[in-house]
Structure 1
Amino acid sequence: MSLASIRGAAHPRVDVLSTGPNLMAAKSHPITASKIYYIKLGRGGDWEAESLRDSVIRFGYREAPHELCSKGEWQGVWEAMKAIRGDAGAATRDVNQIRAFYEADDRSIFITFVGGLLYWCRPGGEVELLEDRSHRRTTLDGWHSTSAGGTVLSADRLSGRLLKVQMFRGTICDVRASDYVLRRLNDELAPEVAAAEEAERVLLAAIVGLMRLLTWQDFELLVDLVFSTSGWRRLSQVGRTQKTVDLELILPSTAERAFVQVKSQASPSGLRDYAARLSQADAYDRMFFVWHTGDIPEDDAPAGVVLLGPQKLSRMILDAGLSSWLREKVS
């Protein structure tokens, strides 16, 4: 749980067009690609909704001579585009994009960005020339906004090395970060990221151990610091409030009031007792029940109660930058 979680922030619901197979199947049949292209689906995204809905890839270039393109007569296409553009370099850039659209096969992948998500597909059938002389291809199995293991490909969780491809001023270009794209589609971590995650896992486990060395007074102080760094303001002193409450808080941005019960040792019966008291406390919007030792499942909270056990609390301590404070307290 991050600090945003105890602010009461809600994560927006993300609708995905499709989901991939489970992770085990993904590892058995990894996603591969001979080429990865980025494509803009229309000027200003005009064809995005249609492409995703109908599982097609739309492409403009109405000036392109379809008959020559279909036959692969690219010298003729270049000459036609040069006559239109009046510039050899522009004609070459046009032909490169047109050729990619016509020649990409089902071993290739097209990616695009729509609504904050990365979508990907494999081209399927032949290029179709529409009445307005724009172009369309079917996809092999539709557009996907998830990895092989079902992870949503949210743009805010993707590397800037890939995101900068959106600055391309044409319609189709090669994706230089193709290795990165394939890793994300296959739910694989770069070795450096895997090493960092393992180091973080070890640190979180160490934080749990350090918490359990604190006196109950220092543990209450630590909890107070965690909440204060996330925007909550304490209304009463630690350990000197009502007998039901260890901390009384307010969130200034929403005026939400909460109380915090801090326990070094916690039990299900103790949680039930405090949850019952919450139901009789009209002055509070919710309750945080915090502990570092006990057998309470952290994902089984009574109504109106937020459970912050050792696993969630260790993550919050790390995110708040309090691991050094904790280490110094018990050293």
Structure 2
Amino acid sequence: MASTRVMDEDITLPETSQIRPSGVRYIKLGEKGALAETCIRQGIVILQHTEVPHELAANGDWDAIRGLLEARSPDTGTVTRWVNEVQAFYEPSLDTLWVTFHAGHLWWGFADPEVLPAPDTLRPGARFRRMRDGWRKTDLAGNALHTDRLSTQITRTAAFRGTICALPAANQLVRLINGEESPIVAETQRLRTAFEASLVDIIRSLHQNDFELLTDLIFHRLGWQRIGALGGLQADTDLVLVQPATGQRALVQVKSSASQDVVEDYGARFADAEGALPFLVCHSPAGALRPPAARSDMIIWQGEELARKVSEAGLVEWLLEHAA
């Protein structure tokens, strides 16, 4: 069984391989989402159209409901939206996926079919459905669905002025919850990985002076500032850097080649520099290098990871120009 945390309570959820909803509906839980926390905590989805009698909606008397709503608004479009919202709440398929946004997360789940009057303590005249397995704010692999990491194609629905609507990016959202990568993104990732792998040999062809300069440029592009000389006769470091935003210092050793014994040696040299973050940058390691015992916080850039830093820093053109 898998577990997830909903607000301040833990609930246990059944393992799910994938979801395949017949439809996706966004719902605003209360006016401007005012009831979202309560609904998520209680594992329910609520409809606030209190002007529509439960009996009429349960019997599907949509003409009568339209007549009631027309008395409240002269705008045909608004009335039609209201009727559609009530109908969407009362008549969805059991495998309709419901989503909402709250506290910086996207929440999702499936609702039981029974529609019940809400208690007056929640919202007099409202009605609700219980969520099977509650509301979830993670994908099926347990990764949090933070709204600031989601596509605007999905999150823009939060600005919807009504209560219930179809989600335009439904297929994209279902892939996201299932942990399925977009075919376009997957192909781009494949091409990027191949491109970065092609940079490794070019980096290895650099003269040591150019390699030290490249390393300095990478850190500079990533927001670090050098506060000492580059390379030269410094015994333990080739670069001493500071991150202006945080004041964090870094000690960087640049090596064309290195073994794990070399890494351990530098770890011992940096052991007393507790206020500085150690880096080792190496383009031709003798085997896979790992952080040393004396400084387990050492960051090691090597091989394709180093090539990725070159790409992230926008230094591919510089690299091609300085390649031997």
TM-score over 0.5 for the alignment? yes
**Alpha carbons 1:21, 1:148 under 8 Å: kept:** no
Identity %: 35
Residue matched to 2:165: 173
Q: Distance in 2 between matches of 1:135 and 1:21?
A: 27
Give the Å deviation of 1:258. Answer: 1.8
* Matched position secondary structure for 1:291: strand
Is residue 2:320 matched to residue 1:327?
yes
Partner residue of 2:308 out of 297, 315, 319: 315
1:126-145 matches, cutoff 5 A: 126-130=114-118, 131=120, 132-145=124-137
Give matches, 1:75-90, under 5 Å: 75-90=63-78
Aligned partner letter, 2:37: A
User: Is the contact between residue 291 and residue 297 of structure 2 (CA under 8 Å) also seen in structure 1?
Assistant: no
Residue among 37, 51, 62 paired with 2:39? 51
By relative contact order (CA 8 Å, sep 6+), the higher-ranking structure is 1
CA contact (8 A) 1:262 1:291 kept: yes
Q: What code does the residue aligned with 1:81 have?
A: L
- Give the structure with the higher percent helix: 1
Aligned residue for 1:289?
Answer: 280
Range that drifts further, 50-59 or 198-207 = 50-59
Alignment of 1:271-290 (within 5 A): 271-281=263-273, 284-290=275-281
* CA deviation after TM superposition for structure 1 residue 241, in Å: 4.7
In the alignment, is the contact (CA less than 8 A) between 1:244 and 1:261 conserved in 2? Answer: yes
**Distance of 1:88 and 1:55 partners within structure 2:** 34
**CA 1:300 to 1:108, structure 2 compared with 1: closer, same or farther past 3 Å?**
farther
SS in 2 for 1:288: strand
Structure 1 counterpart SS, 2:162:
coil
For 2:299 and 2:262, the matched residues in 1 are separated by: 14
Q: Which amino acid aligns with 1:141?
A: D
> Tell me, what secondary structure is at the counterpart of 1:263?
strand
Residue 187 in 1 paired to residue 179 in 2?
A: yes
**Where in structure 1 do 4 or more consecutive aligned residues deviate above 6 Å?**
18-22
Contact conserved, 2:13 with 2:133, CA < 8 A, in 1? no
The secondary structure found in structure 1 opposite 2:133 is: coil
Runs (5+) with no aligned partner, structure 1: 1-14
The answer for the alignment partner of 1:32 in structure 2 is 20
Query: Which piece of structure 1 moves more, 152-161 or 129-138?
Result: 152-161
Contact 2:19 2:178 in 1 (8 A): yes
The secondary structure found in structure 2 opposite 1:32 is: coil
| Cα distance in 2, alignment partners of residues 133 and 211 from structure 1 | 69
State the TM-score, normalized to the length of structure 2: 0.88
Q: Match for residue 202 of structure 1?
A: 194
Shift of 1:37: 0.7
TM-aligned CA deviation for residue 317 of structure 1: 1.3
Tell me whether 1:216 sits opposite 2:216 in the alignment. no
- Provide the rounded CA distance (Å) in 2 between the counterparts of 1:182 and 1:195: 19
2:264/2:292 contact within 8 Å kept? no
Q: 2: CA distance between counterparts of 1:298 and 1:272?
A: 9
Q: Distance in 1 between matches of 2:284 and 2:14?
A: 38
- Distance (whole Å) between structure 2 residues aligned to residue 220 and residue 261 of structure 1: 9
Higher mean alpha-carbon deviation, 191-200 vs 221-230, is at: 191-200
Aligned pairs (5 A) from 1:66-105: 66-105=54-93
Aligned 8 A contact 1:20 1:146 in 2: no
Letter in 2 for 1:263: K
Cα deviation for residue 227 of structure 1 reads 0.3
In structure 1, what residue type is equivalent to 2:277? R
Deviations 1:147-203 (A, max 9, x none): 233333222332222222122110101112212222222222333222211110101
* Inter-partner Cα distance in structure 1 for 2:210 and 2:109: 54
Query: Which of 125, 132, 152 does residue 160 from structure 1 map onto?
Result: 152
Q: How many angstroms apart in 1 are the aligned matches of 2:117 and 2:173? A: 30
Q: Which runs of 5+ in 2 are unaligned?
A: none
* Cα distance change of structure 1 residues 37 and 21 upon mapping to structure 2, 3 Å threshold: same
**Greater strand proportion:** 2
| Matched residue SS, 2:142 | coil
The Cα shift of 1:220 comes to 1.1
Superposed CA deviations along residues 259-281 of structure 1, whole A, max 9, x for unmatched, are: 10111212222111111111234
* In structure 1, C-alpha distance between the alignment counterparts of 2:266 and 2:211, rounded to whole Å: 19
Give the stretch that moved more between structures: 85-94 or 190-199. Answer: 85-94
Q: Does 1:252 align with 2:240?
A: no
- Structure 1 residue 308 displacement after superposition: 2.2
TM-score (normalised: structure 1): 0.86
